[in-house]
Amino acid sequence: EAYLSAIDTANEKLNAYVAVTHEKARAMAKASDAKIAKGEAGALEGIPLGIKDLFATQDVHTQAASHILDGFKPKYESTVTANLWSDGAVMLGKLNMDEFAMGSSNETSYYGPVINPWRAEGSSADLVPGGSSGGSAAAVAAFLCAGATATDTGGSIRQPAAFTGTVGIKPTYGRCSRWGTVAFASSLDQAGPIARDVRDAAILLKSMASVDDKDTTSVDLPVPDYEAAIGQSVKGLKIGIPREYRMDGMPNEIEALWKKGIDWMRDAGAEIVDISLPHTKYALPAYYIVAPAEASSNLARYDGVRYGLRVPGKDIADMYEQTRAAGFGREVKRRIMIGTYVLSAGYYDAYYLKAQKVRTLIKRDFEQVFEDGVDAILTPATPSVAFGIADQEMASDPVKMYLNDIFTVTVNMAGLPGIAVPAGLDEKGLPLGLQLIGKPFDEETLFRTAHVIE
Ligand code: GLN
């Protein structure tokens, strides 16, 4: 009830929730009470969570923050949310996001932007919460849920976590099932939690992760007790500092933050080593070929026949056109056009195939570093603090917006786990985040090292 009334008070301003499931929340909480009374509480019994609108929730609003899915209520539950409910968690509602998870500011949502609960000292200007999981991050930061599900294709868990002073982990590709999560770029998409601290993130990920017959890319590995990793010493761990992440024109506060992070790790007994990831500079351009290519294919299914919106036309082709023209927003259309172009017969080799080759090189860079004994890699999570709503520069040039992903996309391209952890405030009092990148399926080392920083 406390969370529901907090949502009722704050959501009008923040726009973090696109649907609040009051009755369902109360019914689930009641069932949890009964379980607790019987001594049968699950690991998350009665814990109220917000769910990103990308996750299919049975008979509950699921629109990926898009007009084209108007009124869609799936007949099935995503595996990740089903795992959470079976551990006793309670659903508060569905969280706002960039349309189809395409964006870095939560401004592409059909429901309008999410407002970051943080403000710069002495300023009343509204800031973005980051994206695409902006609703998840804002809701957690503003105490509108105890934790939230999110997804990360190129940074969408880690960047909003960094912009809101919360913890977000993108696990290794294959750790969580993608079944029932609306697909953006299938070879990059991964679910993960956004939480108030590292321990909460560890507990939530443990529950979300599982192998799943319905997603052949999910991996059949035991899910460790992540919470047990927290508090373990980092003495003797080798932390790599990649020189390619030291960008020209990096703001001073980001440079200073990184230095502080290095000092904290060293003070805690870790060994700091300089490393090189030579193909880093190709990651962003390659990502913006691979991700739109897969998106253009995945989004072909929204044709006005099977789901949501249908705009009548004079024949079926016209109906497709009218529906897609009205149903998709500008950024989604841009991605579909780029994706269709790079996959077209004459350009496939030059763009898509080339980008896939670059992706292999990026992956090999990381493999080499880990073979050389590095346990985790420390970088800034984002190139700046949260920026203003309707930032003119970003709005007029999509590439400026894409640059937000510069430190996060490599992790998705290589399929690795990455965590964003709050690491203090800038001089205007806005949250700053650091990122730790780990070996495949070694999320434990990320929780362990991130806990030193938080
Ligand atoms: N900002 C990136 C994009 O727009 C990443 C989005 C995501 O991780 N879902 O593609």
User: What token pair was written down for 175?
Assistant: 């750790």
Query: Catalytic annotation on 276?
Result: no
72 and 63 in contact (C-beta within 8 Å)? yes
pLDDT tens, position by position, 178-235: 999 999 999 999 999 999 999 999 999 999 999 999 999 999 999 999 999 999 999 9
The predicted pLDDT at position 97 comes to: 98
Cis amide prior to 124 (ω within 30 degrees): no
Q: Is the pLDDT of residue 393 over 90?
A: no
Decide: 132 in ligand 1 pocket, CB within 6 A. Answer: yes
Which among 78, 133, 156, 296 is annotated as catalytic?
156
User: What token pair was written down for 448?
Assistant: 């362990």
pTM of the model: 0.98
Instruction: In whole angstroms, give the CA distance from residue 440 to residue 195.
Output: 22
Q: What is the mean pLDDT of residues 7-14?
A: 98
The predicted pLDDT at position 378 comes to: 98
The predicted pLDDT at position 388 comes to: 96
The predicted pLDDT at position 15 comes to: 98
Output the residue whose Cα is nearest ligand 1's atom 10: 102
Q: What is the mean pLDDT of the chain?
A: 97
Nearest by Cα to 94 from 21, 152, 186, 175: 21
- How far is the centre of ligand 1, averaged over its atoms, from the C-alpha of 125 (Å)? 25
Nearest by Cα to 198 from 441, 436, 439: 436
Judging by DSSP bridges, how do beta strands 147-152 and 190-195 pair with one another? antiparallel
pLDDT tens, position by position, 312-365: 999 999 999 999 999 999 999 999 999 999 999 999 999 999 999 999 999 999
- How far is the centre of ligand 1, averaged over its atoms, from the C-alpha of 70 (Å)? 22
pLDDT tens, position by position, 239-289: 999 999 998 888 999 999 999 999 999 999 999 999 999 999 999 999 999
Query: Catalytic annotation on 52?
Result: yes
Which among 32, 52, 210, 439 is annotated as catalytic?
52
- How far is the centre of ligand 1, averaged over its atoms, from the C-alpha of 220 (Å)? 27
The predicted pLDDT at position 394 comes to: 86
Decide: 156 in ligand 1 pocket, CB within 6 A. Answer: yes
Which among 104, 105, 132, 218 is annotated as catalytic?
132
- How far is the centre of ligand 1, averaged over its atoms, from the C-alpha of 299 (Å)? 15
Decide: 152 in ligand 1 pocket, CB within 6 A. Answer: yes
Q: Is the pLDDT of residue 383 over 90?
A: yes
Query: Catalytic annotation on 428?
Result: no
The H or E element that residue 382 is part of is none
pLDDT tens, position by position, 427-443: 999 999 999 999 999 99
70 forms beta bridges with: none
The predicted pLDDT at position 441 comes to: 98
Instruction: In whole angstroms, give the CA distance from residue 57 to residue 47.
Output: 17
- How far is the centre of ligand 1, averaged over its atoms, from the C-alpha of 141 (Å)? 20
Strand, coil or helix: 95: strand
Q: What is the mean pLDDT of residues 158-175?
A: 98
Nearest by Cα to 218 from 252, 180, 258: 180
For ligand 1, what atom is nearest to the CA of residue 131?
1
Decide: 104 in ligand 1 pocket, CB within 6 A. Answer: yes
DSSP string, 391-453: -HHHHH-HHHHHGGGTTTHHHHHHT--EEEEEEEE-TTS-EEEEEEEE-TT-HHHHHHHHHHH
Output the residue whose Cα is nearest ligand 1's atom 5: 154
Decide: 405 in ligand 1 pocket, CB within 6 A. Answer: yes
Share of the chain above pLDDT 90, in %: 96
DSSP 60: B
